Amino acid sequence: MTVSRWLSWLPLAVCCLSLPCGGAIPAQDQAPLAALPLEALRKKIEAELPSLVELYKDLHQHPELSLQERRTAAKLADELKKLDFAVTTKVGGTGIVGVLKNGPGPTILVRTDMDALPITEATGLPYASKVRARDRAGKEVGVMHACGHDVHMASWVGAARALVALKAHWSGTLVFIGQPAEEIGTGARLMLEAGLYEKFPKPDYALALHADANRLEGTVAYAEGLAMANVDSVDIRVRGKGGHGATPHLTVDPIVLAARIVLDLQTLVSRELNPLDAAVVTVGSIHGGTKHNIIPDEVVLQLTVRSFKDSVRKQLLDGIKRIAVGCAQAANAPPPEVTIDLSEFTPALNNDPELTRKTVRLFKQVLGEKNVTPREPIMGGEDFSRYALGKTPIFMWNLGTIDRQRFDRAHKENQPLPSMHSPFYYPDPEPSLRVGTTTLTLAVLNLTRPTR
């Protein structure tokens, strides 16, 4: 069943609940679904969908790097102001917070991230990004929404519009936030440090979705409990003694030393961790030297370190320092400089089990059991995890974004689809936004609607 077809069936879902068929929904789940304004929601989403697609394309064509999201933030703030949210801008840099009070009830935080990546788009889409900007190092780079944040934002706006239109069907307070700098792991921390939970209503629940580059449109995936990893950024400055490439015996070659460190780092996972503990140590960048015949004074390595357990995280970080120092000592080189960038640390994301089960139950009723499936934890990171501060229950789910033709072709040819952060990744806008808006709205209604 296509996404548009299942949405057209939403008003029939309530009528069919009590039918004695093999796929009948358990009795304890019938009343919540029956209480939802499904037909009104369907009509509202269909009416808004063309403008949401246009919004998505505009955001896609005008991406902005982390902590540079000024145009994006202004656009989202304007959308909330039109809906009578009380909007505060420049929260934690370029972050925005919109508050809408609608009687007594729980406070629900709904988050979207806003930043794009330093990637030159290669999709060939008519609305592909051609933006170039300066990154934090001052280097000119292409800029692209290669992680679906444009889908997140347009779905977030769609949910805000739908919830305002359905105000008679829920009671509580909405806190819609546009968060900067998710891609560098700092945006949530900056907003919280700026007083998100003190200056604005503290949420009873926090919700978000994330586009998925490997899942079929119309589907949703979720992880109960552990969902995503701890993420650390580590820099190693390998020091040597430079000189002429023809006289290496008069130097201490930091390139050879860096290569040794890169290889030895692999043993942290393969030989030092319990095989049952998942972890990743990846050297994503290595820079050193200027010319063929010059041995440089130093080489810089940049690492991403992923783990699920705090104890494993500590073991990895301690091991990186030990290996770097030990390799330098063995090469008679100056001590290396190992820096753990705590400003970019992202803690593991744990979805609250009760909130996850409650929300997933509703998703399955509306989208169908086969379209809502569990997934294993992944080594990706998400600073949405920080909103669990103060024991706030959080839940993030994955949104399928790939059209049937691309999905089937990839599986038939046994070729992987372009991943997140690929210059070739793009979602199918209309169905992705339809389900994104629907699930965000349903998740809020499921927590705020008055008891009958």
How far is Cα 332 from Cα 182, in angstroms, rounded to an integer?
Answer: 40
How far is Cα 304 from Cα 278, in angstroms, rounded to an integer?
Answer: 14
> Can you tell me which residue has the tokens 């792991």?
185
Going by C-alpha positions, the residue among 187, 194, 207 that lies closest to residue 65 is 187
Interacting residues of 309 by C-beta distance below 8 A, sequence separation 6+? 277
How far is Cα 394 from Cα 447, in angstroms, rounded to an integer?
Answer: 12
Q: Distances in Å between the alpha carbon of 182 and those of 94, 179, 419?
A: 12, 7, 18
The DSSP line for 216-232 is: ETT-EEE-SEEEE-EEE
Residue 174 CB-density burial (10 A; 0-12 exposed, 13-18 middle, 19+ buried): buried
CB distance 304 to 230 below 8 Å: no
DSSP β-bridge partners for residue 218: none
How far is Cα 452 from Cα 448, in angstroms, rounded to an integer?
Answer: 12
Residue 104 CB-density burial (10 A; 0-12 exposed, 13-18 middle, 19+ buried): exposed
Interacting residues of 380 by C-beta distance below 8 A, sequence separation 6+? 228, 229, 420
- Which of the residues are catalytic? 115, 182
